[in-house]
Structure 1
Amino acid sequence: IVDGPTVWLLQLARDRSAEGRALYAVAQRCLPSNEDKEEFPLCALARYCLRAPFGRNLIFNSCGEQGFRGWEVEHGGNGWAIEKNLTPVPGAPSQTCFVTSFEEEVSPY
């Protein structure tokens, strides 16, 4: 496995997302000097490149496509449910969503 500043900078240079371009610009200005052995910027670059957090959802089962798997549900009111989207959402990873009922409580004052 190859690891080093050049690898991660080349990886970022190929990233066409706005986030990738912005991080590339910052990384070029913030790289440690030869005398400074601090590697935090390189670790941050490696984490960004390997995890690719932008462009994907980091929440497991975010649309309820697998039911409530991965979620701990505490019911209050009429609770939570999973429904198909009323209108298809182009490009969405799933056509389902979490829904809840909300009823306003009227105070007797």
Structure 2
Amino acid sequence: MAAMAGLFAVMLINLVLALFDINTGLRDGSPLAIVFSLVCIVVASLSFVLSFHEVEEGVRMGLPQRYSWVAAFGILVSLIWLYLEILRLLSFLQGDD
């Protein structure tokens, strides 16, 4: 959770700096951008562990079925984040910033 919060903070700071035309190099295809994308892919993959653990705990504790959408939403957000990061990394490696 701390890694996700840290990545969110870095991405938010990068967005604010980009609004003022300051390039941090995190999203321009440089080696730093590739490493940052790899870190994001690892954290997005590990977020699946948290999501599936949440499902297991919900089933173990007998959580009502009407709350299943919360767990499904967590898995869906993790999947979309992972998909976008993989596409971004592939675009960096192809050279299509």
**TM-score relative to the length of structure 2:** 0.31
Greater RCO, 1 or 2 (C-alpha within 8 Å, sep 6+): 2
Larger % of strand: which? Answer: 1
Q: TM-score, normalised by structure 1?
A: 0.29
More helix by share: 2
